[in-house]
């Protein structure tokens, strides 16, 4: 059962990450603002499934973008600790989680 969820994670990364040599230049502040509604429902559904199966106490997201998935964890999983890391300044400027839990770093 967990293997199916890992396959979904891999599918997501293949769809949205691979194929762009300079990926951080694509993810500007306007990108995150313009696409928030498009991905919010998907993030919430995905997180609900992971939360039901794994019941995590903490989540670290590497390459978290504007931390939409972390924000969904924060809203769905009471008391969870979340941390995000991304290489894009645009992501941090539009982050949906506390700036204290978000670090910019070139991955």
Q: What is the pLDDT of residues 26-48, one digit of tens each?
A: 777 787 778 777 788 889 989 99
pLDDT-flagged residues of the chain (< 70): 1-25, 107
- What pLDDT shows up at residue 65? 87
**How far, in Å, CA of 6 to CA of 86, rounded?**
21
pTM, 2 dp: 0.69
User: What residues have CB less than 8 Å from 81, skipping those under 6 apart?
Assistant: 57, 58, 59
Residue 96 · residue 71 · CB < 8 Å = yes
What's the token pair of residue 62? 């590497």
């Amino acid at each position: 059962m967990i293997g199916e969820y890992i396959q979904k994670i891999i599918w997501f990364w293949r769809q949205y990450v691979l194929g762009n040599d300079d990926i951080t230049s694509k993810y500007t502040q306007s990108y995150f603002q313009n696409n928030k509604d498009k991905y919010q429902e998907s993030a919430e559904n995905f997180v609900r499934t992971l939360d039901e199966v794994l019941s995590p106490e903490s989540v670290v997201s590497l390459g978290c973008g504007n931390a939409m998935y972390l924000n969904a964890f924060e809203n769905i999983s009471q008391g969870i600790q979340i941390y995000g890391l991304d290489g894009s300044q645009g992501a941090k400027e539009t982050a949906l989680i506390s700036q204290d839990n978000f670090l910019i770093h070139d991955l």
